[in-house]
Structure formats: structure tokens, C-alpha cells
Amino acid sequence: MDAAERAGMSPQLFTTRTGISAQELVDKNGRIDAARHRRVVELMAHVGASSRVMPDRPHMLFPDFPVLGNLCLNARTLREALESYQTFRPLIGEFDFLGYRETPEHAQFEYIAEFAPASGFQALSNFQVLASLIRAYDGLDQTAFRVSLMGPALPGANDIGEYFGAAVRYHADANRLQFTSALLDAPLVHYNATLAPFLRQQAQHELLRIQRGHRFSCSVEHLISEIIRDPGDEIDSSSLLAQTCKHLNTSRWTLHRRLQSEGLHFTELESRVRSKEACRLLGETALSLGQISEQLGFSSQSAFTRFFRTRHDVAPLAFRQRAKLG
């Protein structure tokens, strides 16, 4: 909302455009649904880089999500901390994809936004959080990061480069953060082994609380993901809908009606899950395009290629090659 005001937009107009009130933005237990999250991201992309500034708190995420922060900042190694961060990112939200790959020389995260993917401002915020977490495991606090962003430079671009320890590359073909892999398995001196299992249990309980109390669409999306990831099932759109209704013990009419009440449609959730799973399979497995197409329930490999190109503006093979080359 602050960025919208810098662009000359009143809080009232911001709420009208996004459906999000000022109170909801400061509610630490609140959740913004997909439809409104999309509106605010697209609005921020529309107002332009001049209205966005570099966040001034390196650990800005963890005070707002202490359960996640406590767990990630008390791991045996950085590798374990990053694994916990990826596992429990749903505590923050899941409208993006964070890929990870590792070589003997470096580790790399690639960020793909579901909404306004060509803009780098969402990636920048995520990379700041990752950088602050990684540096917490670097006793000298000297880790330098190679950062590439798809969007244009933000105001204070020099400060951003200074923060990451190297100049940021803009208008890149992907959002990436890269650092030396030598840090991954160094032990954390202040690791509390007694406290660690309780922190993980707390994170698990909080995630379960959110999933149980979340909107119906979240349950549907999670179920779609489980069905698609089951290699024993051959799926297409019609069978996926039928299996979802069967698991939820509900009719198609009721499912569609409940999703519509949240401003969503089944096909939108289906596409979202397939898009995320496609990114994961392309980046983390050696499955062929034909195998991925079949596993995700597409009628043909060409149909999968068209779908992926539409969602990510790049062909699947080019995405895979890009991920491997880093």
C-alpha cells in the first residue's frame, strides 16, 4: 500500500483495485487468497519500478513469521536450514516456484513468479530473505551473491548491489541467486540440538493449522497436486476433476460453486499445479518431455509444450537447459 501511495494512489483506491484493506495487510494471522494476491502483484507491476524501494530490513521476513524463522535459524547446517525453508514456505504463501540446483562449486535458486512473472521485484524480496538466511550461517558475514533479475533496476540499485556483494544483472532471462556451495555443510556453532525438534514440530503444527483453516481452494489445489504426483494414475482434465470430487466426497456442481464463491475455477487451479510440477520435473529430473507430458495428463507432448510456453514464455527444453547451465 505504501508503494501504491508513492505512485499517487490513495489507500481507498488501492483497496478498490485489489480487494485488500489496510487492516488485512497488518494482520499477522491473515491470509490473502490467490485472486487478490494476483491483483496486488499485477498492480505493483503496473505502477512501475519507481514506486518500489529496496526493503530496509535484511531479516524482514522472520519477524513476521517467527515460527519459520526460529526453525531456519537453528539448523545443524545451512543445507538443513535451506531444506526447512523450502519445506515450510507454505507458511508464507505458495503463489510462486523456487527451484534449487547444486554443483560442486555453487548452489543456485531460481525464482518463478506465478503472477507478473516478467517483473523481478518479487524475486528480489525472496532473494533478500535467502541471502539473510545464508549469511546467518556464514560466521564472517562475507558471502557474495550473483543475482540476476528479469525486471528493470529498482531505485537505489547501487545499494542492492552492495547488499548482495556484487552488481545485480537486470533484464536477465531468469531470476537467479547463486552462491558458493562450500557453505552448505559447515556446522552452525550455536545450534541447539535440544530445541531443534520442538521448533520443527511447531512449524508442522502451524502449517497444519493453516491448511485446515484455509480456504476450500487451498484444499482442492493440494489434492490436485497429490493426484498429479501419483505415477500410478493416468490423468486428463476430466478424470482429474472426477478424482478430486471423489476424494472430497462432493459433486462437481458443489465443487464448482464453492470455488466460484472464492473467485476461482477448477481449471485455474489445475493449470497452476501443472505449471509448478512441470517446473519441478524439468529442473530436478531427467524425465523426457513425453514422460512429463504423460505424467501431467496432457493429450500430447505438443499440447504440453504450448501450455508451458504460454505460462512461462519459454519452451520446456529451453527452460531445462537454462536450469542446468545456471
145 in helix, strand or coil?
A: coil
Report the side by side order of strands in the sheet with 106-113: 96-102, 106-113, 175-180, 146-148
Q: pLDDT at residue 56 above 70?
A: no
**Which one is predicted more confidently, 164 or 33?**
164
Residue pair 225/96 in contact by the 8 Å Cβ criterion: no
Q: What is the pLDDT of residues 15-24, one digit of tens each?
A: 888 888 777 7
**pLDDT, position 70:** 94
For cell 531468469, name the residue.
174
Single-letter residue type at 284: E
Q: What is the mean pLDDT of residues 29-49?
A: 73
- Residue for cell digits 505424467? 295
Report the CATH number of the 215-325 domain: 1.10.10.60
Question: Per-residue confidence at 34, pLDDT binned at 50, 70, 90?
Answer: low
Does residue 57 carry a pLDDT above 60?
A: no
In eight-state DSSP terms, residue 326 is: -
pTM of the model: 0.68
Q: What is the pLDDT of residues 178-189, one digit of tens each?
A: 999 999 998 898
pLDDT, tens digit, 9 for 90 and up, residues 285-294? 889 999 999 8
Confidence band for 283, pLDDT divided at 50, 70 and 90: confident
Each domain of the chain, given as residue ranges in start order, spans 1-52, 57-213, 215-325
Q: Which three cell numbers stand for residue 229?
A: 504426483
Band of the pLDDT at 308, cuts 50, 70, 90?
A: very high
Q: What pLDDT is attached to residue 49?
A: 54
| CA gap 1, 22 in Å, rounded | 8
Q: What is the mean pLDDT of the chain?
A: 84
SS3 111: strand
Q: What is the pLDDT of residue 196?
A: 97
DSSP for 43-100, written as a single string: HHHHH-GGG----S-TTTHHHHSHHHHHHHTS-SBHHHHHHHHHHTGGGT--SEEEEE
**What's the grid cell of residue 226?**
497429490
162 vs 140: which has the higher pLDDT? 162
For residue 98, what are the β-bridge partners?
111
20, three cell numbers: 485488500
Q: d(Cα 228, Cα 13) in Å, to the nearest integer?
A: 40
Residues 232-280: pLDDT tens digits? Answer: 656 666 788 998 998 888 888 889 988 887 788 999 999 999 998 999 8
Dist CA 211 CA 207 (whole Å): 6
How far, in Å, CA of 174 to CA of 139, rounded? Answer: 30
Angle of helix 121-136 relative to helix 78-87, nearest 10 degrees? 140
Look at residue 59 and tell me whether its pLDDT is greater than 70: no
For residue 115, the Cα-to-chain-centroid distance in whole angstroms is 11
CB 97 within 8 A of CB 111: yes
Question: Which of 149, 119, 148 shows the shortest CA–CA distance to 51?
Answer: 119
**Burial of 231 per CB tally in 10 Å (0-12, 13-18, 19+):** exposed
